[in-house]
Amino acid sequence: MTEPEKLPPGVLNITTRFAPSPTGFLHLGHAFAAWQAFGFAAQNNGRFVLRIEDTDHTRCRPEFETAILEDLHWLGLTWEEPVRRQSDHLAVYKSYIDHLTELGLTYPCFCSRKEILEASAAANLPIGPDGPLYPGTCRKLTPREIHRHQADGRSHVLRLDLTEALKKVPPSLTFDEVGSDGSLPKGPTPVDATSAGDIVLARKGSTTSYHASVVVDDHLQGITDVVRGRDLYSATHIHRLLQELWGFEAPRYHHHDLLLDSDGRKLSKRDQDHAIRAMKKAGKTPADLKEMIEENLAAQNRG
């Protein structure tokens, strides 16, 4: 398997993390991602932490969390205890989001998914990394209108006002991409948060969203190197913006290749054949999984 990169001597105190969401069983692609992050820490004498990203209470289940821990142990990974579980820290994420609200950088949005789809299509907006770009319907609601929606019992998400947020950060903002994926530009990469639009900071019924909690936790856990799949590359632009708004130091980013299925699509938790536990049950060993990963990557290179 591709050897994780070794940083030059002098780069010290490396901390990486693996941050799965317990919305299903881990598959071969997760094994690859976990080994990449773990291997990078090991190569560089660093720390490795595990974080359970379970803030989406509609999709996360405790039995998947148990399975994740079992599967990662079986792969040979070890990590520092205690494991950080995001649902135990919702008040922390809320306090950081409250800070953005105090700066006038958030607004409540009462739109349903259907309303967003329709308004986004009508305005001919492109599809962003989180789905159809938000057309800004609720951006200029008056306090009176907000009050009326609330009185009608409509729930809301909290969105980042991107236009206002961009006024608070230097236009030359960059993040450092040092990953192994040859298709991505390396080095300081200009941040373009506009492709994601007014992202959701707090979901309906939750005090946070993926973007908010991942950025807060990478900071609080002292993550120096984020090693993850290139499917999250576009999210990095918004993460770097949030880091700047909160005054956090930015980690280095290492985006790696994704494993693909026979149709050329990224592996999914719905595809049970690639689930680590299914392969374990079928008698495969972690070494077999490493070979399958090599083969998957090699097949992609053969094109």
Stretch of residues binding ligand GLU (CB under 6 A), selected from 16-24, 131-139, 276-284, 288-296: 16-24
CB 26 within 8 A of CB 275: yes
Is 274 among the residues that bind ligand GLU (CB under 6 A)? no
Q: Toward ligand GLU, which CB reaches closer, 34 or 116?
A: 34
Rounded to whole angstroms, the Cα distance separating 135 from 146 reads: 18
Total residues at interface with ligand GLU (CB under 6 A):
7
Q: How far is the CB of 300 from ligand GLU (least distance, A)?
A: 20
Residues 227-246 within binding reach of ligand GLU (CB under 6 A): 228, 232
- The structure tokens listed for 218 are 């990478």
> Within 10 Å of residue 2's Cβ, how many Cβ atoms?
14
Stretch of residues binding ligand GLU (CB under 6 A), selected from 15-23, 68-76, 250-258, 275-283: 15-23
SS3 of residue 130 by DSSP: coil
Rounded to whole angstroms, the Cα distance separating 101 from 18 reads: 30
Distance of CA 121 to the CA centre of its chain: 26
Residues 44-73 within binding reach of ligand GLU (CB under 6 A): 53
Query: Hey, what amino acid is at 267?
Result: L
Residues 191-230 within binding reach of ligand GLU (CB under 6 A): 214, 228
Binding mask 127-146 for ligand GLU (x = CB under 6 A): --------------------
Stretch of residues binding ligand GLU (CB under 6 A), selected from 18-26, 162-170, 176-184, 200-208: 18-26
Q: Toward ligand GLU, which CB reaches closer, 69 or 125?
A: 69
Residues 147-166 within binding reach of ligand GLU (CB under 6 A): none
Determine the Cα angle at 13 with ends 216 and 33, to 5°.
65
Element housing 96 (H / E): helix 90-102
Stretch of residues binding ligand GLU (CB under 6 A), selected from 13-21, 62-70, 157-165, 286-294: 13-21
Is 19 among the residues that bind ligand GLU (CB under 6 A)? yes
Q: How far is the CB of 41 from ligand GLU (least distance, A)?
A: 14
Residue 260 DSSP label? B
CB 224 within 8 A of CB 251: yes
Q: Toward ligand GLU, which CB reaches closer, 20 or 135?
A: 20
Q: Toward ligand GLU, which CB reaches closer, 26 or 116?
A: 26
Q: How far is the CB of 36 from ligand GLU (least distance, A)?
A: 11
Q: How far is the CB of 235 from ligand GLU (least distance, A)?
A: 7
Kindly report each contact of residues 73-78 with a partner whose C-beta sits within 8 Å and lies 24 or more positions away, as own/partner: 74/276, 74/280, 74/286, 75/31, 75/34, 75/35, 75/276, 75/286, 75/289, 76/286, 77/18, 77/34, 77/35, 77/38, 77/48, 77/50, 78/48
Using CB under 6 A as the criterion, which residues of the chain lie in contact with ligand GLU when the complex forms? 19-21, 53, 214, 228, 232
